[in-house]
Chains A and B, each alone.
Chain A
Amino acid sequence: MSDSKYFTTTKKGELAELKADLQGDRRDKKKEAVKKIIANMTVGKDVSSLFPDVINCMQTDNLELKKLVYLYLMNYAKSQPDLAILAVNTFSKDCEDSNPLIRALAVRTMGCIRVDKITEYLCEPLRKCLKDDDPYVRKTAAVCVAKLHDINPQLVEDQGFLELLKDLLSDATPMVVANAVAALAEIGEVSPTATMLTELDTPTINKLLTALNECTEWGQVFILDSLASYTPKDDKEAQSICERVTPRLSHANAAVVLSAVKVLMKFMELLPEDSAFLSSLTRKLAPPLVTLLSSQPEIQFVALRNINLIVQKRPDVLKDEIKVFFVKYNDPIYVKLEKLEIMIRLANSHNVANVLAELKEYATEVDVDFVRKAVRAIGRCAIKVESAAERCVSTLVELIQTKVTYVVQEAVVVIKDIFRKYPNQYESIISTLCENLDSLDEPEARASMIWILGEYCDRIDGVDEQLGTFVENFHEENSQVQLQLLTAVVKLFLKRPSDTQQLVQKVLSLATQDSDNPDLRDRGYIYWRLLSTDPAAAKDVVLAEKPTISEETDLLEPALLDELICHISTLASVYHKPPSAFVEGKVPVRRITLQPRAEPSAAEPTGEEPPSGEEATPTTTQPPPQVLPSPDDLLIGDLLSLDLPGGGEGGGGYNAPPAAAGSSGLGDLDFLTGDLSGLQMGSTGMIGMAPTPMIGGGG
């Protein structure tokens, strides 16, 4: 029983002992030795020197020993390709064995020996096994084709294995069908020629749908995943496939359920929007998704990441189910964080009271990340549901009064966003914020606070002193804070020019003369020149009306969302990134994405650059500037784009309040912000009126 003895540390000269045992006659000794070797192999010791001796044990009628030898062979064949050929004979012989278990074992192992030289010897046995009488052998052979294709795609295609594999789709045994589908799908993903061959047609789809009812849970997943890559001819076919897939939603295996959801979500796009079938399907999706939340935590995590996509695509599906996403005290942190995301997505004016009560509860928990996210969520609720904004703000104020530093900082950041969404409504709370100035030590919180001070400087008593204190330590601040501080002081000056001239001069000279940061310097110079040449224009620019921030933040780009919907249940849906972002090497031949009902997809995903999950606004990627615009345009355009905090804060999102933007007649603005860094060097030179020459350091 106790095989653990094999794991004990290797003595000196043990390899020699093992060798002797392998060469000996005693069967039990042989087996002991091989076990010991496998244990060594597992813990990472190199036992490849025993290769010839182990191979010699291959011809045995003891199945257990044979399996052990095969295991060894699969591990070391690559390092001993010449010796591995010795095994070919045994394999060919085993493939003819009367016992189907032995035949299958041989064909399974063969494919795992990843030595190029051997592969051609395997073709004949494999061909036989693909047509074997026994379904167990055939299902193993089907997978073996995929193995062989991975080693030598050309060989597989030349030998016509793909056609043989395709024939297996009509096999009488569902498990054979399922494995053939899986193998074809994998081959189709990497090989262009195979893609043509593996393209599914209507009769095949019907065969698969029949097999779906009868094969193993895993087989059902393979089949459903293949169905998801099929494009139905018309909405009738889409509907009939949906009808036959829907029962899978009641399967106990979460993978079956999620793959069925994938097929349905994809095909629903093809159904007429007002059909009764579509709405009944939408209703049927919710219960199984909710049920997934009572599975093991790891499955819950995968399910929640996918639900996040589903509610973005079809907000109707789970609109009444927000309660199931309430966080439980004992949920693992990764489940808690994901549930929180979905709660915000589902929040609306009907349920916001409940949601807010929950979020407040979460904001008093222990886990710092979770608490921060909960506080941020309160802010997002305020922005999303106008009727609840007031309650959200008062909740945030209550939380600030706890004086827990990270809660306060997070609250300040979201309050800034609330101010942007509802300007001039909640200034009364500014005094509470000011009381907590000292506890803000994170750049984002400090920058947010300074923005608020600048924005409402005409209504806060002693704001010049407060900003003055920040200016004292200007050089110790993070660049994000410095930029905000600069803008805030300029705002203050424009509103109260009489008594703040000294302050503004100080901050301008700090920004332009003592700083190494080109963003800061440039912004400083522009303010300086604006103020000195035309204060009225400065007012127009710096105190301009700001565009409102979007209600729904953290949405995925529509094109990416559509692509991810086609990858429901896969890693791509867990990472929220297209497969090309994390799978390397082989370029996917097929790029799967949703097909909308009538018009062609609005924006084809560009592919190379995966937009990060945190992308705040759903803007389409801007084309990089290729032609330098005329100097005039450049000057104006650049002025404004520099004023946007975009360059320094990676923004464009609502997190970075643009100090000024949106004057009309500057169509090139967006065009330029696309690639600011490339232009900065040249443009600073071109402005040319700067007090000190400042080429270099740039971009």
Chain B
Amino acid sequence: MIGGVFVYNHKGEVLISRVFRDAITRTAVDAFRVSVIHARHTVRSPVTNIARTSYFHTKRGNVWIVAATRQNVNAALVFEFLHKMVDVLESYFGTITEENIKNNFVLIYELLDEILDFGYPQKTDSGILKTYITQQGIRTQSTEEQKQITSQVTGQIGWRREGIKYRRNELFLDVLESANLLMSPQGQVLSSHVSGRVIMKSYLSGMPECKFGMNDKLVVEKQAKPSTAEAATLEQQLSKKGVSGRSGIAIDDCTFHQCVKLSKFETERSISFIPPDGEFELMKYRTTKDITLPFRVIPLVRETSRTHMEIKVVLKSLFKTVLSAQKVEVHIPTPPNTSGVKVTTLRGKAKYKSGENAIVWRLRHMQGMKETQLTAEIELLSTEGPKSKQTARPPISMNFEVPFACSGLKVRYLKVFEPKLNYSDHDVIKWVRYISKSGLYETRSQSNY
């Protein structure tokens, strides 16, 4: 398993060093600095093997987080662990920076001791860790409390502690999607998919059992009618748009938070769980069929001479007129030898940013079913001699935010059962919200600038 975990700053100075195995020596710590951090060519793989020691690294800003080993370890586990470790640290002291690491090094050692034993990841749930790794110095705990901590750490429901109480039982569901598109200059969709997340914020008392339902095609087809009247009312309560069609969406794949009973999903395709307290990511999913693409970008590039070219970009919004997109931004790359740009737009503001080699076009709002355009005249410095090096031609990319789910996903219900406490599903206040943002939303520009 993992032989050692190290944290370096950008200079390669060691900020944290925790070694679990003899085979990982101080020389190994230095080898990484010399061969990777100080390497003349940037390393082209997140896994490096130097003198029979394998290093896994990931970077956060200027900070290198590294695991080293000399065994045939589970590589996916090591990277998942490093990312999880970053999450835990961030939940304790915010962003990972050299300053923050130095300020909290004692805490970090204490946490590392708890989340990694002899290189084997243990409990990495920050909610539970915070109950007993506090950096409060001496804190007397009663035997009762101690027992509770240890049973939580090792327990089957390790993500929730007992005895949580709220006066108002409330839950929030956010369906957050990112729409990804790669389009050819001719308007052909090369690839598109939506990756979505259902984020739940739960403020519920006790150990509530929840059941989550959505318009999953497989489920919808199975139950021709909504199972109960209760479910129907819930649906009304939840879906504010009131446009939930009966047809479901085809989900390519989904993954769940560890609280979800996977075997139940496999057999009945029902999503049941006891949620952690507060915010967590209930599920992640991906769809590729029947995606609503909110925008279409049509680029037209005309090279009028060696030193002059024109770009015209048409932007169309393809969703319902009643809705409106926000934070719309189109990023139009220009050739590296651009010397001057003149831009005019019908709507919004556009600026040429020489540092980014791009024209950035911003629109604060854009209603559905509208069309607008930008034209730019670009002066180029004439390049001499034969082309010896190719220049990058990044695609035109877009950012936006729209208030619906591009995949068409709808929450049908979220039922809460708490058998021991005195509240029922009806008493829980539930909120649901849909937001889609742009992921990589790109249109390739024509081949010859």
For B190, the chain A residues whose CB sits under 8 A away are: 323, 326, 354, 358
- Whether B46 and A570, one on each chain, are in contact in the complex, defined by CB atoms closer than 8 angstroms, is no
Q: Is the CB of A111 within 8 A of B153?
A: no
Quick check: B13 and A43 within 8 Å, CB to CB? yes
A contact residues around B150 at 8 Å (CB)? 100-101, 104, 134-137
Residues of B within 8 A of A574 (CB): 47, 75
CB 8 Å contact bits of B31-67 with A (1 = contact, 0 = none)? 0000000000000111101001010101000000000
Q: Which of A139-147, A307-315, A382-390, A509-517 contacts B (4 or more CB under 8 A)?
A: A139-147
Which one of A252, A255, A257, A290 lies within 8 Å of B257 (CB-CB)?
Answer: A252
- Which residue of B is nearest A364, CB measured? B390
CB-CB under 8 A from A108, the residues of chain B are: 113, 117
Instruction: Indicate whether A426 reaches chain B with its CB closer than 8 angstroms.
Output: no
Query: Does B106 lie within 8 Å of A405, measured CB to CB?
Result: no
Count of A-B residue pairs with CB < 8 Å: 287
How far apart are the CA atoms of A104 and B77 in the complex, in Å? 24
Q: What is the bound-complex CA distance between A29 and B67, given in angstroms?
A: 33
Known: A135-B151, A301-B45, A326-B191. A583 touches B70 (CB 8 A): yes
Q: 0/1 per residue, A176-195, Cβ < 8 Å to B?
A: 10010010001000000000
Given the interface contacts A136-B150, A182-B120, A404-B390, does A584 sit within 8 Å of B103 by beta carbon? no
B284 on the interface (CB 8 Å rule)? yes
Assess whether B99 is interfacial by the CB under 8 Å rule. Answer: yes
> Is B217 part of the binding interface, using a Cβ–Cβ cutoff of 8 Å?
no
B92 interface residue per 8 A CB criterion: no
B388 at the binding interface (Cβ < 8 Å): yes
- Contacting B72 at CB < 8 Å: which of A38, A354, A357, A582? A582
Residue among A35, A134, A251, A567 making CB contact with B106, cutoff 8 Å: A35
Question: Which residues in A have their C-beta under 8 angstroms from that of B253?
Answer: 250, 287-288, 290-291
Q: Would you call B388 and A247 a contact (CB within 8 A)? A: no
Task: Let me know if B72 and A567 touch, CB within 8 A.
Answer: yes
A358: B residues at CB distance < 8 A: 190
Given contacts A71-B109, A255-B76, contact A298 B56 (CB under 8 A): yes
- Give Cα A75 to B113, complex, Å: 13
Contact B58 A246 (CB under 8 A): no
**Interface set, chain A 226-281, CB cutoff 8 A to B:** 244, 246-248, 250-255, 257-259
CA A7 to CA B75, docked complex, whole Å? 32
Bound Cα distance A625, B72 (Å): 34
User: For the complex, is B212 an interface residue (Cβ under 8 Å from A)?
Assistant: no
- The reply to whether A114 and B22 form a contact with Cβ atoms under 8 Å apart is yes
Q: Is the CB of A3 within 8 A of B102?
A: yes
A42 to B19, CA, bound (A): 11
A residues 6-45 touching B (CB-CB < 8 Å): 6-7, 35, 38-39, 41-44
Instruction: Please name all residues of chain A whose beta carbon is closer than 8 Å to the beta carbon of B19 when the two chains form the complex.
Output: 75
Chain A residue at minimal CB-CB distance from B6:
A42
B16 contacts chain A at the CB level, 8 A cutoff: yes
Question: B389 to chain A: which residues have CB within 8 Å?
Answer: 404
Residue of B nearest to A60 (CB): B138
Residue from the list B20, B72, B121 in contact with A583, Cβ < 8 A = B72
A475: CB under 8 A from chain B? no
Distance (Å) between the CB of B374 and the closest chain A CB?
A: 21
Nearest residue (CB) in B for A292 is B76
What is the distance, in angstroms, from A25's C-beta to the closest C-beta of chain B? 17
**CB of A217 within 8 Å of the partner chain:** yes
Which of A79-87, A327-335, A461-469 is the interface stretch? A327-335
Among the listed A140, A150, A175, A361, which residue makes an inter-chain contact with B444, where contact means beta carbons less than 8 Å apart?
Answer: A361
- Contact yes or no, B109 A255, CB < 8 A: no
Shortest CB-to-CB span from A296 to chain B, Å, is 6
Closest to B151 in A: A135
Task: Tell me whether A218 and B286 are in contact (CB under 8 A).
Answer: no
* Distance between B5 CB and nearest chain A CB, rounded to angstroms: 12
* Least Cβ–Cβ distance between B183 and chain A, in angstroms: 12
> Does residue A61 face the partner (Cβ distance < 8 Å to B)?
yes
Among B143, B149, B390, the most chain A Cβ lie within 10 Å of the Cβ of B390
| Residues in A whose Cβ lies below 8 Å from that of B390 | 364-366, 371, 402, 404, 407
Q: Are A143 and B118 in contact (CB under 8 A)?
A: yes
* B71 pairs with A583, CB closer than 8 A: yes
Residue from the list B103, B147, B193, B255 in contact with A252, Cβ < 8 A: B255
The distance from the CB of B438 to the nearest CB of chain A, in whole angstroms, is: 13
B135 within 8 A of A: yes
B20, B52, B122, B154: most-surrounded residue (chain A CB, <10 A): B154
Tell me if B102 and A326 are in contact (CB < 8 A).
no
- For residue A529, CB closer than 8 A to chain B, the reply is no
In the assembled complex, the CB of B439 is this many whole angstroms from the nearest CB of chain A, namely: 9
When the two chains form the complex, which single residue of B45, B113, B154, B256 contacts A176, counting CB atoms closer than 8 Å?
B154
Question: B75: which A residues are within 8 A, CB to CB?
Answer: 302, 569-571, 573-574
**Distance in Å: Cβ of B42 to nearest Cβ of chain A:** 9
> Does A602 sit within 8 A of B, measured CB to CB?
no
Query: A43, A98, A111, A173: which contacts B143 (Cβ < 8 A)?
Result: A98
Bound: A301/B395 CA distance, A? 23
Is A572 part of the contact surface with B, judged by Cβ < 8 Å? yes
Give a binary string over B414-449; 1 marks a CB under 8 Å from any A CB, 0 the rest.
Answer: 000000000000000000000000001010100100
Q: When the two chains form the complex, which single residue of B99, B147, B158 contacts A4, counting CB atoms closer than 8 Å?
A: B99
Whether A170 is near chain B, meaning CB under 8 Å from some CB there, is: no
Q: Which residues of chain A have C-beta atoms less than 8 A from B263's C-beta?
A: 213, 244, 247
A558 to chain B minimum Cβ distance, whole angstroms, is 21
Known: A62-B137, A255-B76, A255-B77. A3 touches B255 (CB 8 A): no
**Interface presence of B307 (CB below 8 A):** no
Closest partner residue, chain A, to B150 (CB atom): A136
Is B182 close to A, CB under 8 A? Answer: yes
Q: 0/1 per residue, B84-127, Cβ < 8 Å to A? A: 00000000000000010011111001100100011011111000
Q: How far is the CB of A590 from chain B (nearest CB, A)?
A: 12
Specify which of A4, A7, A75, A333 is in contact with B44 (CB 8 Å cutoff).
A333
In angstroms, how far is the closest chain A Cβ from the Cβ of B336? Answer: 10
Residue numbers in A under 8 Å from B403 (CB-CB): none
Asked if B105 and A225 make an inter-chain contact with CB atoms under 8 angstroms apart, the answer reads no
List residues of chain B with CB within 8 A of the CB of A215.
Answer: 156
A4 to B16, CA, bound (A): 12
Contacts A61-B138, A173-B155 hold; do A571 and B54 have CB atoms under 8 A apart?
Answer: yes
Docked pose: A579 CA to B387 CA in angstroms: 46
> In the complex, what's the smallest C-beta–C-beta distance from B56 to chain A, in angstroms?
7
Which of B52, B109, B120, B391 is within 8 Å of A218, CB to CB?
B120
Chain A residues with CB under 8 Å of B54's CB are 571, 582
A573 to B75, CA, bound (A): 9
A259 to B392, CA, bound (A): 39
Partner of B388, one of A301, A337, A366, A404: A404
Can you add 15 more A-B contacts, CB < 8 Å, to A139-B154, A218-B121? A3-B106, A112-B118, A135-B150, A175-B158, A253-B80, A296-B83, A324-B191, A328-B440, A328-B442, A330-B440, A407-B390, A569-B75, A571-B69, A571-B72, A571-B73
The 9 listed contacts between A and B (C-beta, < 8 Å) are A6-B102, A41-B17, A44-B17, A71-B109, A108-B117, A255-B74, A288-B253, A298-B79, A571-B69
The 8 closest A-B pairs by CB, nearest first: A287-B253, A4-B102, A136-B150, A247-B266, A255-B77, A579-B72, A247-B262, A255-B76
Interface residue ranges, A against B (CB under 8 Å): 1-4, 6-7, 35, 38-39, 41-44, 61-64, 67-68, 71, 75, 98-101, 104, 108, 111-112, 114, 134-137, 139-140, 143-144, 146-147, 150, 173-176, 179, 182, 186, 213-218, 221-222, 225, 244, 246-248, 250-255, 257-259, 287-288, 290-291, 294, 296-299, 301-303, 323-324, 326, 328-330, 333-334, 337, 354, 357-358, 361, 364-366, 369, 371, 402-405, 407, 567, 569-575, 579, 582-584
Chain B residues within 8 Å of A, Cβ to Cβ: 1, 13-17, 19-22, 26, 29, 44-47, 49, 52, 54, 56, 58, 69-77, 79-83, 99, 102-106, 109-110, 113, 117-118, 120-124, 132, 135, 137-138, 141, 143, 146-147, 149-151, 153-156, 158, 182, 184, 190-191, 193, 195, 252-258, 261-263, 265-266, 281, 283-284, 286, 386-395, 440, 442, 444, 447
